[in-house]
Amino acid sequence: MPYHHVPVMVDEVLAYLNVQPGKTIVDCTLGGCGHAKAILERTAPDGFLIGLDQDIEAIENAQYVLTSYNNRIALFHDNFVNLPSILDRLGIIGVDGILLDLGVSLHHLESSGRGFSFRKNEPLDMRMDVSTKITAEQVVNTFKEKELAHIFSCYGEERFSKRIARAIVRERKKTPIRTSYCLAEIIRKAIPKQSGPQRIHPATRVFMSLRIYVNSELEKLEIFMKNVADLLTPRGRLCVLSFHSLEDRIVKHQIRALGKTCSCPPSFSKCICGFEKKFRSLTKKPLRPTGDEISANPNARSTRLRAAERI
């Protein structure tokens, strides 16, 4: 099964990462390798790409589709929080650019068979890395009602979180909830009927929140962002594509935090506050895809791009 994904904002990513021949770039989220390929083309003839993905199927796909660049790539099946130790092992002190394209790929939604989408009847798994322990099925069938409501409201901003959690707990007493269709149906019945056409499917927010929880997406991003500046060479660039306001908030705050200067009074001969300015933000506001890109690829519509430069 080919690994399907349509990369978003490719030109903007290449520009903000300042991708040039000879540079060493890390793609932390290879997915279908659309960005990776564009980076390899632009860094030719002697640039290098370090590629990561926590999904083994993405790595197997990368080994296949990037085979002609074999002498200029190193691929790792790993979570991007482990990038510092990967660079350490490679003996690399700093790279010229780091790309994060967060969330799931179309492959996850359309053909992974892991229950990411309410449009497919699949086992409720939702792990991007299938070697990790907890699945969406375990969460839905074993977590307390309060915990479920918290996940739905915190990660999905679902306003009917309590009603949905109550319905799940009621239904799972009758029979365990094992599939995406089964869960989607419980959610549909739990929320009040709304008049007029619906902008999104009623299960959208709950599915997204479960996925974010199961994969610890926000926690991993937070850890990664704290250390990212130290992985870049001076003038090296970070570019992050996010699809969720909570992700974007983490990226924005961390770029801001790493952009703070020393706050000691000028009369102090030595800094005691410990703030070393590491980043210069390149995007005051997040960049959005053009109307043309959204028309061609509606999945791109909620993308936000933020970039920063290492000082």
Query: Which residues of the shown chain bind ligand SAM in the complex (CB under 6 A)?
Result: 5, 7, 28-29, 31-35, 52-55, 58, 79-80, 101, 103-105, 128, 220
Q: Which CB sits closer to ligand SAM, 54 or 153? A: 54
Q: Which CB sits closer to ligand SAM, 24 or 105? A: 105
Are 246 and 102 in contact, with CB atoms under 8 Å apart? no
Distance (Å, whole) CA 248 – CA 201:
23
Distance (Å, whole) CA 195 – CA 146:
29
Q: Minimum distance between the CB of residue 14 and ligand SAM, rounded to whole angstroms?
A: 12
Q: Minimum distance between the CB of residue 94 and ligand SAM, rounded to whole angstroms?
A: 20
Q: Minimum distance between the CB of residue 7 and ligand SAM, rounded to whole angstroms?
A: 3
Give strand pairing partners of 43: none
Q: Which CB sits closer to ligand SAM, 79 or 161? A: 79
Q: Minimum distance between the CB of residue 48 and ligand SAM, rounded to whole angstroms?
A: 18
Report the SS3 class of residue 76.
strand
Are 306 and 283 in contact, with CB atoms under 8 Å apart? yes
Q: Minimum distance between the CB of residue 128 and ligand SAM, rounded to whole angstroms?
A: 4
Q: Closest residue (Cβ) to ligand SAM?
A: 31
Q: Which CB sits closer to ligand SAM, 220 or 280? A: 220
Do strands 24-27 and 95-101 pair parallel, antiparallel, or not at all (unpaired)?
parallel
Q: Which CB sits closer to ligand SAM, 72 or 280? A: 72
Q: Which CB sits closer to ligand SAM, 104 or 151? A: 104
Q: Minimum distance between the CB of residue 237 and ligand SAM, rounded to whole angstroms?
A: 16
The DSSP call for residue 156 is: H
Are 123 and 113 in contact, with CB atoms under 8 Å apart? yes
Are 215 and 127 in contact, with CB atoms under 8 Å apart? yes
Q: Which residues contact 50 (CB under 8 A, 6 or more apart)?
A: 24, 25, 26, 27, 73, 74, 76, 86, 87, 90, 92, 95
Residue length, the chain? 311
